[in-house]
Amino acid sequence: MRDLMAVTARPEVISLAGGLPDTSTFPPGTFAAQMTRIAQESAAEALQYGPTEGFAETVDCILQVMGAEGMLPDPDDVIVTTGGQQAIDLICKTLVDPGDVVVCEAPTYPGAIPVFCSYEAEVVQIECDEDGMRIEELEAVLSRLEDEGRRPKFVYSVPSFQNPAGVTLSLERRRRLVELARQRELLVVEDNPYGLLRFSGDPMPPLYQLDGGDFVIYVGTFSKILSPGIRLGWAVAPPPVMEKIVLGKQAADLCTSTLTQYFVREYFAEGRWQEYVASLVEIYRRRRDTMLDALEEHFPAQATWTEPQGGLFIWATLPDYIDTGDLLAKALREDVAFVPGESAYVDERGRSSMRLNFSGVSEDSIREGVRRIGRAIAEQVELYGALTGEHPLPPTPRREENKPGDVLPFRRSGEGGA
């Protein structure tokens, strides 16, 4: 499958496979002015090493971002990292020994799996539904592990607009998860790259806020609210854990890029970062709506998908006789790509699902891309029908077909949902 993903990088391919934010709307003039100011006023410092924990000024910016979601961490608990990805890596490096159990969602962030695996963790995945991770299943797994005399090192969750499923952990489940962590003295790693990218519905308190930072380690990033190219993320952890993370960071790369930290400092000093995030939210909201409309129009009746209230991704599930890894090969013949669901699982699950990104491509490309994928799926559905004598369901009307109570991993939310 990795080989197929290499083909998706061809320029003529409409790629709904990436996790890319749209950086084309960032004003080049602003970028040029800030970088020029850094060059003229602080060249020597900006080209120098920096502290392992990151500059205090960067941490101030991080506090502003976290404050926008109601979090008030102690600045000493924050470390600046080379993207959120490094934060996940450093947390694993600090906490995970070979054979340790790490619990995460099913599906989970595909980029986290290689990290867990490289530290030889045993990954246990908990099913999600439209309200995120099923906490009752988590409780059952924790109890089973306890009976076996094992304790997970942590529970990894992307609670808001999850990558890849697009679902959001409900408030009730958030409270329950934090409570469980406290009762069982269990660490939770909250990865929240998308929290500020909400298009609809009420904001949800992050786990870190509900918990107060005792059992929740927080991972954040500037990638989705500013730029992934600057590779700036952070982790927030209580002092004993943070000390080890700092040692790990020293070993990994000494410090995060000074230059890009200077850039963020300049950018935040303008005081308009929230305006930029608001403009992204508008763009992404339209793109999500375009994708949902296109899915409705072009995907066959047997397909289901999530309706995210924010973030970058929609997760679609097809009939179980369709392998989305093979479907990708067919889609690539039509110059369109997505991420096969298998990459979000450590086992064989997800083979009939796919992750679709709506943030990184234009509305026209979304419509065309979904149309082409829909046609490829329709051909497979029709072929399967011809091979088995099972004839496909009529394509319309969809809304009546998915009645509440349908047993689907991701039931589409109701009319009032998104």
Partner 1 sequence: MKVAVLKGGRSLERSVSLRSGARVEDALERLGHEVVPLDAGSDLMTRLAAERPDVAFVAMHGPGGEDGTAQELLAILDIPFTGPGVAACARCMDKVLAKHELREAGVPTPDWFAFNETAFRELGAADALDGLGERLGFPLVIKPSRGGSSLGVKFAASRSEVPEALVSAFSYDDRVLLERFVDGRELAVSVLGDEPLPIVEAIPSGGDRYDFEARYEIGRTEFDCPADLGDEEAEAVTAAALGAYRTLGCSGFSRVDLILGEGGPQVLEVNAIPGLTDTSLLPQAAEAAGMSFEELVERILQLAQPAVTH
Q: What residues make contact with partner 1 under the rule CB under 8 A?
A: 2-4, 6-7, 10, 321-323, 326-327, 329-330, 332, 376, 380, 382-384, 386-389
Minimum gap (Å) between residue 379 Cβ and partner 1: 8
| CB 319 to partner 1: min, Å | 10
Spatial contact of 71 and 209, defined as CB atoms under 8 Å apart: yes
Query: Can you name the residues that pair with 80 across neighbouring β-strands?
Result: 234
- Give which of 241, 201, 197 is closest to 220, Cα–Cα: 197
Nearer to partner 1, 1 or 56 (CB): 1
In three-state secondary structure terms, 127 is: strand
Angle between helices 258-269 and 28-46 (to 10 degrees): 130
Return the number of the residue (9 or 33) whose C-beta is nearest partner 1: 9
Q: Of the two residues 2 and 403, which places its CB atom closer to partner 1 in the complex? A: 2
- Residue 280 phi, psi dihedral angles, 5° rounding: -65, -40
Question: C-beta of 409: minimal distance to partner 1 in Å?
Answer: 19
Shortest distance (Å) from residue 15 CB to partner 1: 14
What is the 8-class DSSP label of residue 159? -
Q: Which residues contact 169 (CB under 8 A, 6 or more apart)?
A: 131, 132, 133, 157, 159, 160, 162, 177, 204
Length of the chain: 418
Closest distance of CB 331 from partner 1, Å? 9
To partner 1, the closest distance from the beta carbon of 18 in angstroms equals: 17
Shortest CB 322 distance to partner 1, Å: 7
Distance CA 304, CA 319 (A): 9
Q: Identify which of residues 7 and 171 has a Cβ nearer to partner 1 in the complex.
A: 7
User: With respect to partner 1, which residue has the nearer C-beta, 197 or 327?
Assistant: 327
Which residues, at least 6 apart from 35, have a Cβ–Cβ distance to it below 8 Å?
A: 263
Closer to partner 1 by Cβ: residue 28 or 389: 389
Q: What minimum distance in Å lies between the beta carbon of 172 and partner 1? A: 39
DSSP 38-63: HHHHHHHHHTS---TT--HHHHHHHH
Taking a C-beta distance cutoff of 8 angstroms, is the pair 301, 391 a contact? Answer: no
Residue with smaller CB distance to partner 1, 99 or 389: 389
Measured from the CB atom, is 66 or 318 closer to partner 1? 318
Q: What does the buried/exposed string (b/e) look like for 366-387 if buried means 16 or more CB atoms within 10 Å of the residue's CB? A: bbbbbbbbbbbbbebbeebeee
Q: HSE-up of 378 (CA within 13 Å, CB side)?
A: 14
For 161-176, the DSSP string reads S-TTT-----HHHHHH
